[in-house]
Amino acid sequence: MKPKVKITVGLVALFSVILYLSFVADTFPIGNYKTWRQYAGGPDQSKYFDGNQINKSNVSKLEVAFVYPTVDSLPNFFSPIVVDTVMYVMAKNSSIVAIGATSGKEIWIHANLQGLTRRGINYWESKDRTDRRLIFTLNNTLQAIDAQTGKTITSFGTNGYTDMREGLGREVTSIRRMQSMMPGVIYDDLIVMGNAPGEGYFSPPGYVRAYSVITGKLEWTFHTVPRPGEFGYETWPKDAYKYVGGANVWGEISIDAKRGIAYLPLGSPTFDFYGGDRLGANLFGNCLVAVDARTGKRLWHYQTVHHDIWDVDLTSAPQLITVKRKGKTIDAVAVATKNGMVFVLDRVTGEPVFPIEEKPFPASTMPGEQAWPTQPIPSLPQFVRNQLTKENLNPYLSDAEKATWGKRIDAAKSGLYVPLSDQYETFTVPGALGGANFGNSASDPSKGMFYVITQEHPSIYKLERIKPPVELMSADDVDRAKALYTSSCQGCHGEDMRGVGIAPSLVNAGQRVSFDDFKTVLSVGKGQMPGFAHIDEQRVAAIYRYLGGSTGGRGGPALAGGRRGAGPVMPAGPVVASGGATVAADTKVALPMADYPDGVAHPKDRYTTDYGTNWPNLLNPVWSRVVAYDLNKGIIKWESPVGEDLLSMEKGLKVGTPAGSLRKGMIVTSSGILFATAKGGKLYALDSQTGKQLWETTLSYESNAQPTMYEANGRQYLVVNATANFSRDTFNHSKKPGALPRGYVVYALPSTKKK
């Protein structure tokens, strides 16, 4: 199979590039790095802060200035933002709380925002600063509250909200999961949003959209699974847009605000590990796509994995950096992948800054699958290993464990882009977790320095055919259902269940209609269909399963703005509002899409596997590092191990040997410091030029959020969200004497003011 389209820069983009180049003559800085008003600092997601008060000579003197306790016992992953002297955090049972950035004193609380996007919110202000807003997603809606008062802005959207399930090309009331865990990014008066619709078969598509921060109106949509007539449509089966989901941005979107370009790191199409129903290169899955941030028009794209069947999402923030190569100064964008590669492209044209070679890889042996024959491999050194062997097996496993895993490794296959199989296990390194995940990249934008926090944890996969409900029925149930269908249904709906005349098709009807609705229709009838009240419950259940349904455990969806469980609880403090906008109840609820649309060609069988991560770390250490690339030279300049692992320490691993640091965060400062969080509640300060450790501390709780840095009243602060629970393979530092409360820990240099 050969590519039907060029996978790098599209020809259509050349006209847009010419327009951009006409007014972009020189390189220029792309952000204000003295504030932290957005997740990761600013729209470019560099995690860079311009401040010299905390420097290499005094960083070891950092102390806790104050802690804002979260009060509730639930961990969260929220990254604070700071505007002037106000910090916005998530605390107190999913409330947004405004606190003093120098004191931690509560200013206002908007309580009970159950379903709030977990990792952050967005701030926007008008040019005259009279209108200041916090924009966030809540239970699949986009909402806004007044940043000064904390109250819902009811003029936003419809009565205060915009339903983000709309516009995805699927029935709104069938969409259960859509909103991203990430906050999106502000550009001018727009908010650009990714989503997380799920990664199973028939999940909704991951279209990237922009909304007005003033009206809540949808302004543009970028179809990540192209529709007929759109660029890239021919890289899919002709009807793929009707049933393929995913291909979404669930990580960090970066924006070059001065050029008005948004860089979208897109993930895998559904299903992650089997693509027999989406043969082709599958644009724009696994692509870095540059779009006009004002219109959503594609400028260029580069696909880092063709026809992904390994779940190699792009999710860490594309870093917008300036590099000097061969006498030229190039504004570039660098992105790290889950399987340990770094792609560096010209920010305006999309052309590779360093060579990238299409290399051949093995074909798939799965029925109906066609792995892409080549994959792009960049020339920059990789930052993780790509194979598990008996030679690099973890030496701290017991002898019995080593023997067991050695046998499994002998019977399995391992290596880069080895296709999955239902006949043997595949050991993929790194696995579903990465590599690089969101929060794991940062940069010094003007110096060409690119930083990655690595994670090395293999996944073990083995595909399994999905059995339709009818195969899970007993022989008696099948006979009973067939007899009932023949006697009561076949006359109208046909022997093949596809309908006759006005009678509709019943093919997989059990996956399109809830069991309760099915029982009602069968009992009382509908339209010209008579009721069959005499049929007992057992036979009703049997025919429902025969039609593809499942009678067990399928509950209705939560409403778009609804909450389950106990009613709202008002926390102590200055509560100004509760619950966000009042969302209208859905008048109709539909089951999620569960099968291919009628008339669409598709494989006979579907296959699945889990993420294969429920194992101890099978590789020998080191498992996690901060890796610094000098992209002026195209080299790894330094590596510094980070994190801790209790289980391996108990088996003889030296205390302090680094462990995994999945979804942690960094801050790079103009004073030459890189702050990094790591597994085990670790917080490090490293020399950003050499990797030398300058300072280390251990938090009383784990941190799984992006840190924040800001200046207020002439003092520089570092904030770390330390609210997460420690895992079983780390020490529980919250039990130590003098442990700090669960909350947001704010560090600063000792105050020079007299007490």
Least confidently predicted of 85-89, 292-296, 384-388, 522-526: 522-526
CB 132 within 8 A of CB 175: no
What tens digit of pLDDT does each residue of 539-598 get?
Answer: 677 787 777 776 553 333 333 333 334 467 899 999 999 999 999 988 877 878 888 999
> Cα-flanking dihedrals φ and ψ of residue 720, to 5°?
-125, 125
Q: What is the pLDDT of residue 649?
A: 66
More confident residue, 614 or 491: 614
Angle at 400 between CA 399 and CA 401, to 5 degrees: 90
Instruction: Read off the pLDDT of each residue in 404-423 and give the average, rounded to a whole number.
Output: 97
The band of 492, judged by pLDDT with boundaries at 50, 70 and 90, is: confident
Task: Judge whether residue 364 has pLDDT over 90.
Answer: yes
The 10 Å Cβ neighbour count of residue 220 is 17
Q: Which domains does the chain have, with CATH numbers?
A: 469-554+591-608 (1.10.760.10)
Residue whose tokens read 């007005």? 212
Task: Judge whether residue 288 has pLDDT over 50.
Answer: yes
What tens digit of pLDDT does each residue of 38-77 get?
Answer: 999 999 999 999 999 999 999 999 999 999 999 776 788 9
CB 50 within 8 A of CB 670: yes
Q: What is the pLDDT of residue 333?
A: 98
CB 430 within 8 A of CB 384: yes
The band of 532, judged by pLDDT with boundaries at 50, 70 and 90, is: low
More confident residue, 476 or 631: 631
Q: What is the pLDDT of residue 599?
A: 92
Closest CA to 591 of 505, 510, 520, 507: 510
Mean pLDDT, the chain, rounded, equals 88
What tens digit of pLDDT does each residue of 719-752 get?
Answer: 999 999 988 778 889 999 999 999 999 999 998 7
Residue 500: is it exposed, middle or buried by C-beta count within 10 angstroms (0-12/13-18/19+)? middle
What tens digit of pLDDT does each residue of 169-187 get?
Answer: 888 888 888 898 899 999 9
What tens digit of pLDDT does each residue of 237-267 get?
Answer: 999 999 999 999 999 999 999 999 999 999 9
Give percent of the chain with pLDDT exceeding 70.
86
Q: What is the pLDDT of residue 73?
A: 66
What tens digit of pLDDT does each residue of 108-158 get?
Answer: 999 999 999 989 999 999 999 999 999 999 999 999 999 999 999 999 999
Give percent of the chain with pLDDT exceeding 90.
69
Residue whose tokens read 């998530």? 90
The band of 31, judged by pLDDT with boundaries at 50, 70 and 90, is: low
Least confidently predicted of 443-452, 473-482, 674-683: 473-482
Task: Judge whether residue 11 has pLDDT over 50.
Answer: no
The band of 101, judged by pLDDT with boundaries at 50, 70 and 90, is: very high
Instruction: Read off the pLDDT of each residue in 681-703 and give the average, rounded to a whole number.
Output: 96
Q: What is the pLDDT of residue 9?
A: 46
pTM for the full model? 0.88
More confident residue, 393 or 586: 393
Instruction: Read off the pLDDT of each residue in 23-38 and give the average, rounded to a whole number.
Output: 64
Rounded distance between C-alpha atoms, residue 115 and residue 140, angstroms: 8
Q: What is the pLDDT of residue 18?
A: 39
What tens digit of pLDDT does each residue of 260-286 get?
Answer: 999 999 999 999 999 999 999 999 999
Q: What is the pLDDT of residue 7?
A: 45
Residue type, 28: F
Residue whose tokens read 């069938």? 174
Q: What is the pLDDT of residue 534?
A: 59
Quote the crossing angle between the two packed helices 537-546 and 475-488, to the nearest 10°. Answer: 90
The band of 13, judged by pLDDT with boundaries at 50, 70 and 90, is: very low
Is the previous residue joined to 430 through a cis bond, with omega within 30 degrees of 0? yes
